[in-house]
Amino acid sequence: MDDYNHERNEDQQRSSDPQQEPRTVNNYETETAPSEPMYRTQSTPPPPPPELPKRRGGFLPALFGAVLGGLLVWLLMYTVGGSDANKTAGTVKESGSSEQVSVDIDSDLTGVVEKSTDAVVGITNLQRGQDFWSQSETPQAIGTGSGVLYKKENGKAYIVTNHHVVEDAEELEVTLDDGTKIQGKLIGSDVWTDLAVVEIDDKDITSTMEFGDSDALKRGETVIAIGNPLGLGFSGSVTVGVVSGKDRSIPIDINKDGSIDWQADVLQTDAAINPGNSGGALINMAGQLIGINSMKITEETVEGIGLAIPINLALPVIEQLEETGEVNRPTMGVSLLDLRNIPVQQQSVLKLPEDVKNGVVVTEVFRNTPAQTAGVEKYDTIVEMDGKPIEDMVTLRKHLYNEKKVGDSMTMKVYRDGKAVTIDMVLKDGNSF
């Protein structure tokens, strides 16, 4: 039982299908060939130029011109080609009348991509729909996204992806980098962190990706995004960028009711991330998974702000989903409302001190819950948890979900009838009551 307004709408959120994805991208156009050729040919050849009169010249001027011309050609070739000591970027080979140029390139990037792409897959969300031809209910693709193979064990392989990629799926189809399609099974997903784990048979799996350390990343460090932007037609696409920022907090409206439900902690990168990249890999130059690509900012004035879930935050969620199919978070057993959303006229009922402007109001206490056991009452206004200020439901949830575990003790400061009250409680799993 989650501590948020229970009128939460369970509508499907961010689909990774370009036509369903709420995070839009700018349209692009392809240029067609002009209707008329750029160059026209003449129907008849042009007349020959008039014959110039012949001139007589001496031997010495001709010799001087030849020497000067040869010197200029030598200087030009030396300047362009450089000395042998400077020819580290490539070599030039003459072959007949043409030149064949071979250039040495930095192979680190291509090597990292080559060893990583097999571990990135496509995921198709299939839901029942009416087939046009047979008029029967058949699985139809609602959206496509990406996923990362991170583990093989006991004949099974495990994929981490986004919750919004697999949400409401009746069937999942996993497409490997070589085009092989395998039926996937959803093990569990978590709406708050936007993560999910999918299981497949490991018969055709050749490689998995190891986890890196997202805390060790530095701004400006090169990162690579691999996924399927705009669907499987662009599968295995690679974009390169840098870590633009760490520890970004992005407001998320999970139930699409116009109110912020969560602050997602993400990495910022300028590597291109588009619909279909969701759930794909953000890797470092060691080929390690350091983030799960999740979203991007698509305002008209914004360019190059992609966001990924840091792998260090994702790991505990991945492990719980793999083991139990869900994330067991501590809850109090109450229904809440932000103080700032209560009209001023109604706030008078709470009898709060004038300096209390932020907090969370308890609107209901459920039976047989930690809150009821601890003595929490309706209309208590929570302003602190474990000495940390609570301004709204987002900060309350982040303290519960990120700082506390099931079975932990917690101390709250609340205002009740205008007086400060301290409450101690032991947190429990919401599924236990």
Structure confidence by residue, pLDDT tens digits, 46-99: 444 444 444 444 555 555 566 566 665 555 554 444 434 333 333 333 434 344
Structure confidence by residue, pLDDT tens digits, 126-156: 998 766 666 677 788 899 999 999 999 999 9
Q: Answer for the pair 362, 369: CB distance below 8 angstroms, yes or no.
A: no
Do 110-201 and 330-432 come out as alike in CATH topology? no
Predicted confidence (pLDDT) at residue 359 exceeds the cutoff of 70? yes
Domain segments of the chain as ranges: 110-201, 214-315, 330-432
Q: Give the pairing of strands 281-283 and 289-296.
A: antiparallel
Structure-model confidence comparison of residues 170 and 27, the more confident one = 170
**Residue 31: per-residue pLDDT:** 31
**Residue 133: per-residue pLDDT:** 67
Q: How far apart are CA 282 and CA 291, in angstroms?
A: 5
Q: How far apart are CA 71 and CA 65, in angstroms?
A: 10
Q: Answer for the pair 253, 11: CB distance below 8 angstroms, yes or no.
A: no
CATH 3.20.20.70, domain 330-432, yes or no: no
The structure tokens 């994702």 sit at 314
347's enclosing H/E stretch is helix 344-347
**What is the four-CA torsion angle of 398, 22, 313, 112, rounded to 10 degrees?**
-170
Q: What is the mean pLDDT of the chain?
A: 80
Structure confidence by residue, pLDDT tens digits, 195-214: 999 999 999 999 999 999 99
| Angle (CA) 185 188 297, round 5° | 105
Q: How far apart are CA 122 and CA 255, in angstroms?
A: 26
pTM here is 0.69
- Indicate the burial class of 9 (C-beta count within 10 angstroms; 0-12, 13-18, 19 or more): exposed
Q: How far apart are CA 277 and CA 271, in angstroms?
A: 11
**Residue 271: per-residue pLDDT:** 93
Residue length, the chain?
Answer: 433
Question: Which amino acid makes up residue 216?
Answer: A
Q: How far apart are CA 228 and CA 190, in angstroms?
A: 22
**What is the four-CA torsion angle of 85, 87, 88, 94, rounded to 10 degrees?**
-140
Active site residues: 164, 194, 278
Cα 342 → chain centroid = 35
**Residue 108: per-residue pLDDT:** 84
**Residue 407: per-residue pLDDT:** 94
Structure confidence by residue, pLDDT tens digits, 269-301: 999 988 889 999 999 999 999 999 998 877 777
Q: Among 19-33, 238-252, 291-305, 380-394, which is the least confidently predicted range?
A: 19-33
Give me the architecture of the 110-201 domain, per CATH.
Answer: Beta Barrel (2.40)
Predicted confidence (pLDDT) at residue 38 exceeds the cutoff of 50? no
Closest CA to 139 of 150, 154, 125: 125
Q: Which fold has domain 214-315?
A: Thrombin, subunit H (2.40.10)
3-state class (DSSP) for residue 132: coil
3-state class (DSSP) for residue 165: helix
**Residue 43: per-residue pLDDT:** 33
Percent of the chain with pLDDT over 70: 73
Q: How far apart are CA 261 and CA 149, in angstroms?
A: 30
